[in-house]
Structure 1
Amino acid sequence: MRAPLKRLRRWLVALPAAAVLAVGVTAAPNSYATADSSYQRGPAPTEASVRADRGPFQVARVNVPGAGFGSGTIYYPTDTSQGTFGGVAVSPGFLSPEILIAWLGPRLASHGFVVITFTTNTPTDQPDSRGSQLLAALDYLTTQSPTAVRQRLDNTRLSVIGHSMGGGGALRAANDRPDLQAAVPLGPYHTTKDWSGVRVPTMIIGGQYDSIAPNDQHSERFYNSLDSAPEKAYLRVTGTTHITVGTGTPGVGKYVLSWLKRFVDDDTRYDQFLCPTPSGPDVVEYHSTCPHA
């Protein structure tokens, strides 16, 4: 079970500021609520390290059969000296194979996560089905994955990522399982626009030129509806389309990693990339609750 004090701390900090728009906020670099550092993994981050394809940990991989999802691949750090690692499940989008989101597996695992990417049951599965499959993939990680994987996994620190309809699935998974630590929908698509029931820290990343799931109809509306999320952010990444926000750029990778490090690992060293409001060549638009400590 989740440590109650950890969840309570997040809620007490988030309540006064949950609906604040952080554009233009002037705050100290570590503006997110102070968290314990017992889950810090790896060296202190730099701009170069969060943009890099690989982090400090060596990675092993294992192919796994489906169990409520299509077949998948687990990536995990081989290191056993730093304790256990948080878990991440990643879903592709409509008609998309696992290979399109597979870049997140070795990238995140090499920074200290146990990651499962998977093929959906059918290529045309709708967002809610993909949400159920994301949760099934997490359940597989915690209960059925190989012993070497489970020995490295902290099953109280789990998160979801999805692209397109998989991003809509990530919203559904977060809505249905509020004890998740983080959700990151990439170019999310869903016919449901109200996600006020989500109580999971959620970063929505949209493509600058997304004509398939236009931001004003999807990502922006989803972000604006996240009234109950203890933390939320919306980022539109420079130069990305609906496809490339899911297949990855250094900028997308930077913010996915930073969000997971901050909210799955409670690693405040990554605050510098999230709050105060980031700017630079990757950022077209950014909004966040970004509460003061």
Structure 2
Amino acid sequence: MGFRSAIHAIPALALLLVGVTTPTAQAADNPFERGPAPTTASVEATRGPFAIATTTVARSSVSGFGGGTIYSPTSTAEGTFGAVAISPGFTASQSSISWLGPRLASQGFVVITIDTLSTLDQPDSRGTQLLAALDYLTRTSSVRTRIDGTRLGVMGHSMGGGGSLAASRTRPALQAAIPLTPWHTTKSWTTVRVPTMIIGAESDTTAPVASHSEPFYTSLTAAPDKAYLELNNASHSAPTRANTTVAKYSISWLKRFIDNDTRYDQFLCPAPAPSTLIQEYRATCPHS
């Protein structure tokens, strides 16, 4: 019996204690909650509250993707963590998205930034490789005991972003996807059932939002939750270097949907207004 049910069964006088047991109530409602209550400062910080370790994954030691780097919290005192695999884009290596590894892991996720089998791999192949990387993380990696294999997500830049859409279409059990200035020749993703945040860039000439991010977002009719964030006056490569806006909303999305942590709703709903950083934001507010 959960906290909210049990509390009705105790004597009326004990109800006076409800105010002081609110944290227990939250813990009972959400066993996946990790870390302190978020603030704007905490989600915008370059590092979160968790100390992390870095592990190199040699290409020769894995199959299905080109190796990579694992960033993981060093302590599991609060429990296991959700995991995220991130793919680079066309012609790029993991170095182009490596800044996201420690940024996300220190907020309470196990993260693997991958190299692809070939830098010329197309989006669907990158999607398959993202899933192979998640399978490696949860089944055979040295950090597998730190991971809750039911709480997984994917991210990627450019063709890697298209790959994250393809991975979500293939594996609807994923909890979250964040395509970053995504590129894909497929424009309709009506079968994707994964909560998806698409981050586009206003001045992107490689994957213009009008022919990529925007139709991708519009087509996500089966996704239980979705969001579209367009970076103001930004280029296709904006997500390949440290970007506070990308980090803030990626952390919030992953926390909300991989960790079911409603404390992060405040950053997603109501939708942030246009600003010097955000050209446009569209969303379905997260469902409880």
- CA distance in structure 1 between the partners assigned to 2:254 and 2:212 by the alignment: 22
Q: Which position in structure 2 is the counterpart of 1:112?
A: 108
| CA offset digits 1:176-198 (Å, max 9, x no partner) | 00000000000000000010010
Alignment of 1:178-193 (within 5 A): 178-193=172-187
Alignment of 1:36-185 (within 5 A): 36-66=29-59, 67-146=63-142, 149-185=143-179
Q: Which position in structure 2 is the counterpart of 1:256?
A: 250
CA contact (8 A) 2:71 2:105 kept: yes
Higher-RCO chain (CA-CA 8 Å, sequence separation at least 6): 1
CA contact (8 A) 2:56 2:68 kept: yes
- CA distance in structure 2 between the partners assigned to 1:291 and 1:119 by the alignment: 32
**Shift of residue 216 of structure 1?**
0.4
- CA distance in structure 1 between the partners assigned to 2:240 and 2:253 by the alignment: 16
Q: Which position in structure 1 is the counterpart of 2:283?
A: 288
- CA distance in structure 1 between the partners assigned to 2:240 and 2:213 by the alignment: 14
| Greater gyration radius | 2
CA contact (8 A) 1:91 1:118 kept: yes
CA contact (8 A) 2:82 2:109 kept: yes
Percent identity (aligned): 61
- CA distance in structure 1 between the partners assigned to 2:257 and 2:277 by the alignment: 21
Label 1:265 to 1:135 Cα distance change in 2 as closer, same or farther (>3 A). same
- CA distance in structure 2 between the partners assigned to 1:189 and 1:36 by the alignment: 38
- CA distance in structure 2 between the partners assigned to 1:151 and 1:189 by the alignment: 34
Q: Which position in structure 2 is the counterpart of 1:18?
A: none
Return the structure number with greater helix share: 2
- CA distance in structure 1 between the partners assigned to 2:260 and 2:92 by the alignment: 32
Label 1:69 to 1:221 Cα distance change in 2 as closer, same or farther (>3 A). same
Aligned-residue Cα RMSD (Å) equals 1.3
**Shift of residue 80 of structure 1?**
1.9
Q: Which position in structure 1 is the counterpart of 2:214?
A: 220
Unpaired runs of 5+ in structure 1? 1-34
Label 1:192 to 1:55 Cα distance change in 2 as closer, same or farther (>3 A). same
CA contact (8 A) 2:161 2:180 kept: yes
| CA offset digits 1:40-65 (Å, max 9, x no partner) | 11111111111111000000011112
Amino acid paired to 2:144: R
**Shift of residue 167 of structure 1?**
0.2
Q: Which position in structure 2 is the counterpart of 1:210?
A: 204
Residues paired across the two proteins, number: 257
CA contact (8 A) 1:37 1:268 kept: no
Unpaired runs of 5+ in structure 2? 1-27
- CA distance in structure 2 between the partners assigned to 1:208 and 1:242 by the alignment: 9
Q: Which position in structure 1 is the counterpart of 2:265?
A: 271
CA contact (8 A) 1:89 1:138 kept: yes
- CA distance in structure 2 between the partners assigned to 1:81 and 1:229 by the alignment: 33
Greater mean deviation of Cα atoms: 283-292 or 258-267: 283-292
- CA distance in structure 1 between the partners assigned to 2:53 and 2:189 by the alignment: 36
